[in-house]
A and B are shown apart, each in its own frame.
Chain A
Amino acid sequence: MAADLITMDDLTNEEIEALLNDAEKLLPVAKGDVYLPLLQGKLLGNMFFEPSTRTRMSFETAMKRLGGNVVNLGALASSSVTKGETLFDTMKMVDGYCDVAVLRHPRQGAAQYAADACEIAIMNGGDGAGHHPTQTMLDLFTIRQAHGRLDLNVVMVGDLRYGRTVHSLSHALSRFGAHLTFIAPASLSMPEEIIEDLESCGASITVSEDLLSNLPTADVIYMTRIQKERFPDEDEYLKVAGIYKLSRSNLKDVKESMIIMHPLPRIDEIHPNVDNTPHARYFDQAFNGVVARMALLCRVFGVSVPEEVGE
């Protein structure tokens, strides 16, 4: 099926804008104020080979709010994966059971691999340190919701090496004319091949290790967690754990309209005293995962979102 979503390259700018518009229209459905069974009779396979809270739950919520249904791979310990089943065989089975599948896997390239194996559409829910395009859609939605546009100064902070959310988001934002500032310690800096890709597409990029000096000019601060599970060695993790922290006292000189985002979960990179400031958007961002994924699911099935969704 042509509607696979593996990287943001699978969507044109026009498609992205149309999806963001659809997501906006679906807000009352996501909140439960309107029942709109556009996907009645359709079944989503939630294939999570790595832990997930938001991606898995928001896909499930999106599907059910649109009248569809969901089957889950469940805990890995209770599946045939522990018996040594290949990803290919597992996905062939899902191909028969479901109408669409979302896949999260610790290995990079798993989503493309699954898409090649399956007739049904595959949505990449995160493949190792690779891509996470459905997260990017909800991130773009959150930025556009706050600022009305995307050609902004977006500062990405933390684990830019292993953080797949920032890989996909930086590609997408650069296509919409954003200026990107990458803040990370040397050991977690944005991979060179991604910077080369972005620059070859004309992206405007600043690289720094200093968060505080970049706060006043930022329109968006995108914080990320230093991912312990991606480090081969705990000592290497401890060297950089907790390196960037944002608290209310850091926000005195920021723009009034600046928003703080985080794909969550957070550890200590955003202090809870930021939560009640007008800048904090990470919980709205998590909610927006439902509308963004609703719009993407409708795209998979070629279902148009009505102009008037109702109240």
Chain B
Amino acid sequence: MSDEMRRVTAICNGSVIDHIPAGTALKVLRMLRISGKRSNPVSLVMNVPSSKFGAKDIIKVEDRELTQDELDRLSIIAPHASVAIIRNYSVAEKRTVEVQGEMVNVTKCTFSNCITQANREPQPHRMIVISVEPLQLRCHYCGRPQDMNSIIDNLL
């Protein structure tokens, strides 16, 4: 385990999310619907040095194993993130974010007149991935390309 990883105590069981873009760990927590109200401990380090990206954030969530689906939600803000599933202090599994062709109920359309902005419409929010690098999305319904700067405010 690298020096950066030891900034917080090793966890017995749970998930370590690595290679999060520096400064975005709080948004990642929000996307994973991890709030301070849950009982399992969460450790977070921000802006630690990274040989790959210069700087990065890391999150450790104890006693919760993130699924591939949960991880894939992160592709909007942390496309290079990886997760190590820890069992009894050892890495049991490693997963990386996979950008799917479509994102369902990850984010709302950024276009104010899209049908999905109407109150109480029950169908899922669907984004088609037009390009992975850089990430470009288009709303399945209205067809508008998404404003990737403001889309973070529309995360579900």
A binds B: yes
Interface residues of A (CB under 8 A from B): 7, 84, 86-88, 105-110, 112-113, 116-117, 127-131, 193
A131 to B140, CA, bound (A): 14
Which of A113, A116, A117 has the most chain B CB atoms closer than 10 A to its own CB?
Answer: A113
B111 nearest CB neighbor, chain A only: A108
Asked whether B115 lies within 8 Å of A105 as measured between CB atoms, the reply is yes
- Decide: A7 near B143, CB < 8 A? Known: A107-B113, A113-B123: yes
Q: Is B16 an interface residue (CB 8 A)?
A: no
Asked whether A87 lies within 8 Å of B118 as measured between CB atoms, the reply is yes
Asked whether B122 lies within 8 Å of A88 as measured between CB atoms, the reply is yes
- Report how many A-B pairs have Cβ atoms within 8 Å: 63
Asked whether A130 lies within 8 Å of B143 as measured between CB atoms, the reply is yes
Residues of B within 8 A of A113 (CB): 115-116, 121, 123, 141
In the complex, besides A107-B142, A127-B115, 6 extra interface pairs with C-beta distance below 8 angstroms are A88-B122, A108-B143, A108-B144, A109-B114, A109-B141, A130-B142
A86 to B141, CA, bound (A): 16
A128 to B116, CA, bound (A): 13
* A-contacting residues, B76-123, CB 8 Å: 109, 111, 113-123
- Decide: A88 near B121, CB < 8 A? Known: A130-B143, A193-B145: yes
- Decide: A86 near B113, CB < 8 A? Known: A108-B142, A109-B142, A193-B144: no
Residues of A within 8 A of B123 (CB): 88, 113, 116-117
Residues of B within 8 A of A129 (CB): 113
- Decide: A109 near B115, CB < 8 A? Known: A86-B121, A88-B121, A116-B123: yes
Residues of A within 8 A of B142 (CB): 107-109, 112, 127-128, 130
Task: Render B127-156 as a binary contact track against A, CB cut-off 8 A, 1 for contact.
Answer: 000000000000111111100000000000
Residues of B within 8 A of A86 (CB): 118-122
A286 CB, min distance to chain B CBs, angstroms: 27
Residues of B within 8 A of A127 (CB): 115, 142
B148 CB, min distance to chain A CBs, angstroms: 13
A149 CB, min distance to chain B CBs, angstroms: 29
B124 CB, min distance to chain A CBs, angstroms: 9
A126 CB, min distance to chain B CBs, angstroms: 13
A129 to B116, CA, bound (A): 15
- List 8 A–B pairs whose Cβ atoms lie within 8 Å, in order of A's numbering: A7-B143, A86-B120, A88-B123, A105-B115, A107-B142, A108-B141, A109-B116, A116-B141
A94 CB, min distance to chain B CBs, angstroms: 16
Asked whether A128 lies within 8 Å of B143 as measured between CB atoms, the reply is no
**Neighbour of B115 across the interface among A7, A108, A131, A193, CB < 8 A:** A108
A21 to B77, CA, bound (A): 50
Residues of A within 8 A of B116 (CB): 109, 113
Residues of B within 8 A of A108 (CB): 111, 113-115, 141-144
A127 to B109, CA, bound (A): 16
Residues of B within 8 A of A109 (CB): 109, 114-116, 139-143
A154 to B118, CA, bound (A): 36
Residues of B within 8 A of A87 (CB): 115, 118, 121
Asked whether B114 lies within 8 Å of A107 as measured between CB atoms, the reply is yes
Residues of B within 8 A of A84 (CB): 119-120
Residues of B within 8 A of A193 (CB): 144-145
Residues of A within 8 A of B119 (CB): 84, 86
Residues of A within 8 A of B141 (CB): 108-110, 112-113, 116
